[in-house]
Amino acid sequence: MKIIIIGGGRNETSTLQTLAETTSIEILGIVIEPYDEESIELAEAFNIPIVHDCGDLSEKTDIDLIVDLSEPDGVGKKNCDRKPVGVDVIDRSTAKLLCRLLQSESRSTYDLIDKLTREHWSLYEIGISLSSAKDLAEVSQKIVEQATVLTNAPASSLAIYDEEPDEMYFSASTGFRSGIAIQKSWKPRENGLTNYILNHKGPVTISNMDNHPEFHNPELVSEGVKSLIACALTLDEKVVGIIYVDDFNPRDFTEHDISIISLLSTYAAMAIEKAKLLEETRLLSITDDLTQLYNHRYLVQQLLTELSRAKRYQEPLSFIIMDIDNFKQYNDTHGHVKGNEVLKQLAALLKKVSRTYDIVSRYGGEEFTIVCPKTNKQNAFDFAERIRRMIENTEFPDAHTQPLGRITVSIGIAGFPDDTRDPLGLIDKADIALYLAKGSGRNCVCAYDEIEDTAM
């Protein structure tokens, strides 16, 4: 809008300033008295042309409005009579109302810009924070927490896509009672919600789940989810996972919410891939290539950690070591390729039968170990005996050629605090028990005993 201002004076300085600062208004000129120093100074500050007679502006044909800020008997009366035909004039009271509206609009615009600036700065900080996270679990938790903050939503979750089994699994969630948080993994159904999100370009919004029976999901129903935004996380056209923002009430998510999640998903995808790469690199350094069990170095590190924890909380800990009986003979007869198959099969069995917090390792060659936190020696003995029987009854290739007619193991056990308080001492004493098991005809379990150690 192009305007001409008439008059001003000390009392109208704020009105003049508001009009001058409003970007949607262009002031073509101001008609003021020569003695009105404050208005002259303000006009000069905003580069507004100053005249003392409206006639100097009457030839302008692009004037939309004249704003008369003059006193009743001031410059306004004579100058407004000389205005261009068809141009409206508003007085001081109307001008003040206009300025209040402009100030309100400017405040709203400023608030919006401020909000956007803070949110995008938050996204930048999130990117920095995610890049410094130590592992995938930490990255995942930061993502879901920020997703709820940025969208003012009560819940959020993050699912990671695992290519090899073609499965999704939840790596983090916040705001849920239990169901979604503990579900381990699932395969995307052809017509299911997960598959729809993965194949949809950009975020998916559902304002009311009741209106989408085709996406009926028992876990979402049990948690009471009524609406959601979901966005596939991709990096270089590779699917990384899905971020979900959930509400327990029907909700029309705004374009702003959708934009924020879309931006967050970009940071999230990069951070997840980086965390996965770091974990894979770390895993390679602590894992035995053949069996995918932990290696000897990691075993020693974790034994130190677990033994320190056992001492601090005064809890028992047991160490199990086992050796495949007559394994050299098996390798000599059938070759190392088949021998490796036996090692891998046995390793998979040990992982399957052990608890999640047990530390199963390949100690070297045909020897395997299990660190059993919070386990006394008697319970460890029972566990080892169960393992021995399971291996004895498992079908291994060409096992019938072995001296005992099957693949068997000898097992030794030592415990904290009964046998020693020293980690290396625990390994030594379990090894002594293993030697006793070998000397007792193999395919048996022996626990360390101080008397037997002395007798040797």
Dihedral angle sign, alpha carbons of residues 331, 337, 340, 341: negative
| Catalytic residue numbers, as ranges | 366
Nearest Cα residue to 175 out of 147, 197, 206, 207? 147
For tokens 């100074």, the residue is 41
Take residue 160 and report the two structure tokens written for it: 């990671």
The C-alpha atoms of residue 373 and residue 329 are separated, in whole angstroms, by: 34
The C-alpha atoms of residue 441 and residue 437 are separated, in whole angstroms, by: 7
Query: Per-residue pLDDT tens for 299-308?
Result: 999 999 999 9
Take residue 64 and report the two structure tokens written for it: 């939309």
- The pTM for the full model equals 0.52
- What stretch of H or E contains 67? strand 65-68
Nearest Cα residue to 323 out of 410, 407, 381, 399? 410
Backbone angles phi, psi at 214, to 5 degrees: -65, -20
Compute CA distances 392 → 48, 320, 384, whole Å: 98, 17, 12
Helix pair 296-313, 423-439: axis angle to 10 deg:
110
Q: Are 253 and 170 in contact (CB under 8 A)?
A: no
Domains and CATH numbers, the chain: 2-100 (3.40.50.720), 133-281 (3.30.450.40), 296-455 (3.30.70.270)
Query: Per-residue pLDDT tens for 204-263?
Result: 999 999 998 888 887 888 888 999 999 999 988 889 999 999 999 999 998 888 888 888
Q: Are 93 and 11 in contact (CB under 8 A)?
A: no
Residues recorded for the chain: 456
Q: What percent of the chain has pLDDT over 90?
A: 41
Burial of residue 271, with CB atoms counted within 10 A of its CB: 0-12 exposed, 13-18 middle, 19 or more buried: buried
- The DSSP symbol for 411 reads E
Query: Per-residue pLDDT tens for 16-47?
Result: 777 777 777 788 888 877 777 777 777 787 78
Q: Are 90 and 98 in contact (CB under 8 A)?
A: yes
Query: Within 13 Å and on the Cβ side, how many CA atoms surround 363?
Result: 17
Tens place of pLDDT per residue across the chain (456 aa): 787 887 766 667 777 777 777 777 788 888 877 777 777 777 787 788 887 666 655 566 677 778 877 776 555 555 555 556 667 777 777 777 667 666 665 555 555 545 555 555 556 666 666 666 678 888 888 889 888 988 999 999 999 988 877 888 888 889 987 656 555 678 888 888 999 999 988 899 999 999 988 888 878 888 889 999 999 999 888 899 999 999 999 999 988 888 888 888 888 888 888 888 877 777 788 899 899 999 998 999 999 999 999 999 999 999 999 999 999 999 999 999 999 999 999 999 999 999 989 999 999 899 999 999 999 999 999 999 999 999 999 999 999 999 989 999 999 999 999 999 898 899 999 999 999 999 999 999 999 985 455 444
H helical segments located in 287-335:
296-313, 327-334
